Structure 1
Amino acid sequence: MNTLSTAIQGKASTHLRSLLLCLFFWISALAMPSFAQTAEQDLHDLQRDWAQIQYLTPEKQRAEKLGVLSEKARALTVRYPDNAAVWTWSGIVHASHAGAKGGLGALPIVKAAKADLEHAIALDGSVLDGAAYTSLGSLYYQVPGWPIGFGDDKKAQTFLLKGLEYGADDMDANYFYADYLFQQKQYTEALTFADRAEHGPEDMNRPVASEGRLGQIKQLQAKIRQKLH
């Protein structure tokens, strides 16, 4: 009887330990969100803050606020070094900061944006409908050429078209290519892509950004039509 009792107690003890161990791992899984979920949330917050600054903040205050946001973006690239979407948005934030700052002082910032976008492409250029290609292309046609900057219209077109390969219906991809064509005085073709941008699907998770971009598209359409008439 003593032997049987000891065996039963041993089995019960082992079973209890197994239950406790399973419970520990289950609680741990709930307490610690996955890497992807955390990166996605951090990226969403960065995109939301960018849209608020870019479209709802007075122009005179944008450079300072985008400078602070650039530091947050840089911290995310350290936290998620292999996440192409994070690197893409770090490049976008830096590019916006450079645009808001303006002048020669913006050149180091725009070079940092270029480096981030190139790194995103090296990781995975297809993410976010090819946004890294589109953003890099926009830098190449907006930044002055040598000896001041790295601007290059031919490279701009190459990257913009690559972005369109991944995001044929994407609002941003079509808008930036339309703007590039407008700068090249190819007004008829520019209007075609501007119209495509206008009818591109809006991002329901980023209403401020979608509405702000749509406003820019309509402004571009008006400028193009003015040139055509």
Structure 2
Amino acid sequence: MKALVLMVSLWSLSSLALGGGFDDELLAVQQQWAHIQYELPEGEREKAFESLAEQVDGWVEANPQRPEALIWQGIVLSTYAGAKGGLGALSLVKQARKALESALTLNEQALEGSAHASLGSLYYQVPGWPLSFGDDDEAERHLQAALQINPGGIDPNFFFGDFLLNQGDRERARIYLEKALAAPDRPGRAVADAGRRDEIRARLAGLN
């Protein structure tokens, strides 16, 4: 049944890419990503993200000057890398960084600074040199930029709180995680918001 749902969802995304408006395509990508990330069993996510990444590649090719498409290419590739794991994920996170940096050159304000938030999350989660490009200073710079653009958003507050937690700054981490938990719902993003709040509650539970 899960596989059938995934096939139907990907078929819907293909149809939108061929004939829908850009905003409809964007919402389809966002909702499909949330379905994979938060509703599929962990063992099914890698293949599902691989399929979604292929869909998004075509979407970006059709919309090369739309930073929103590049942002979501970066998000899909980075979560695909997380599902894949191991050394095979390193090329995916490099592709994700390239897409997000390209989005920044077009419009750093797009999707309320999501390119900064996603880049920042990559910089603190991937290994550092010589394996990859992880860099805590770059992570903080991008995460702070995301917060300046969208100070009340769920994602920039979550990622900065998670970054602080990784740095061992538990008290400041709690402040940003609680702010993320109280962030307003995003239209059309109910699954993503619910999944993110579960992640936030898990981090907060670890602080108690």
Does the alignment reach a TM-score above 0.5?
Answer: yes
**1:114 alignment partner, one of 66, 75, 97:** 97
Alignment deviations for residues 136-179 of structure 1 (CA, whole Å, 9 cap, x no partner): 00000000000000000000000000000111000000000000
Structure 1 match to 2:181: 198
Q: 2:75 aligns with which of 92, 96, 105?
A: 92
Say which of 125, 143, 150 aligns to 1:167: 150
Return the index of the structure with the highest Cα Rg.
Answer: 1
* Map of 2:195 onto structure 1: 212
Q: CA deviation at 1:73?
A: 1.1
Match of 2:119 among 114, 136, 142: 136
Map Cα deviations across residues 36-79 of structure 1 (whole Å, 9 max, x no partner). x7111111111111000000000001011001101111111101
Please name the residue that 1:80 is paired with.
63
Unmatched runs of 5 consecutive residues or more in structure 1 = 1-36
8 Å CA contact retained: 1:190, 1:224: no
The corresponding residue for 1:63 is 46
The one-letter amino acid of 2:89's match is A
The amino acid of 1:68's aligned partner reads S
Describe the superposition over 1:170-191 as per-residue Cα deviations: whole angstroms up to 9, x where unpaired.
0000000000000000000000
With structure 1 as the length reference, what TM-score do the two structures score?
Answer: 0.81
Is 1:156 the counterpart of 2:139? The answer is yes
Would you say the 8 A contact 1:182–1:224 is kept in 2? no
Q: Any unmatched runs of 5+ in structure 2? A: 1-19
Is the Cα contact below 8 Å between 1:145 and 1:152 reproduced in 2? Answer: yes
Taking structure 2 as the reference length, what is the TM-score of the superposition? 0.89
CA distance in 2, matches of 1:74, 1:204: 25
Residue matched to 1:105: 88
C-alpha distance in structure 1 between counterparts of 2:184 and 2:110, whole Å: 17
Q: Distance in 2 between matches of 1:87 and 1:40?
A: 14
Using the TM superposition, give the Cα deviation of residue 203 of structure 1 relative to its aligned residue in structure 2, in angstroms. 0.9
Asked whether the equivalents of residues 178 and 192 of structure 1 are also in contact (C-alpha less than 8 Å), the reply is yes
Compute the displacement of 1:204 (Å).
3.0
Instruction: Deviation per CA, 1:176-224: give whole Å up to 9, x if none.
Output: 0000000000000000000000001111311101111111110111112
In the aligned structure 2, how far is the partner of 1:223 from the partner of 1:117?
Answer: 31
- The residue identity in structure 1 corresponding to 2:27 is H
Question: How far apart, CA to CA, are the structure 2 residues paired with 1:89 and 1:150?
Answer: 20
Percentage of pairs with the same residue = 39
